[in-house]
Amino acid sequence: GQSLEQPSEVTAVEGAIVQINCTYQTSGFYGLSWYQQHDGGAPTFLSYNGLDGLEETGRFSSFLSRSDSYGYLLLQELQMKDSASYFCASAGNKLTFGGGTRVLVKP
């Protein structure tokens, strides 16, 4: 089976940096993905780490350490529009999601 753990909620102010951690226990693990979901919307793909290390995509970066079964999503220069839920997901023969982290950005 697969399980992914992430914090339920994070609050930060505009311009700040937020790190969302994700620890996982999976079999057949190929990599870690991150998705963003605004209220009422569908999840949208943010990033994928198939190898250890840091992947940077604009203000968002994602990191994976297979030896530690751990990854994180880093949100920099937070904006109000970043208020959303963020899910880590393990990519194997199917996508399994963590519980989600609700990020609230305050002015």
Residues that bind other proteins (CB under 8 A): 33, 35, 41-48, 87, 94-100
Identity of the residue, 48 or 70, whose beta carbon is nearer to other proteins in the bound complex:
48
**Token pair recorded at residue 93:** 């023969």
Conformational region of residue 53, where left means phi above 0, alpha means psi within -120 to 50, and beta covers everything else: left
User: d(Cα 60, Cα 46) in Å, to the nearest integer?
Assistant: 8
Look-up: residue for tokens 């519980």? 99
CB of 15 to other proteins, least distance (A): 27
Cβ closer to other proteins: 39 or 81? Answer: 39
Q: Which is nearer to other proteins, 47 or 84 (CB)?
A: 47
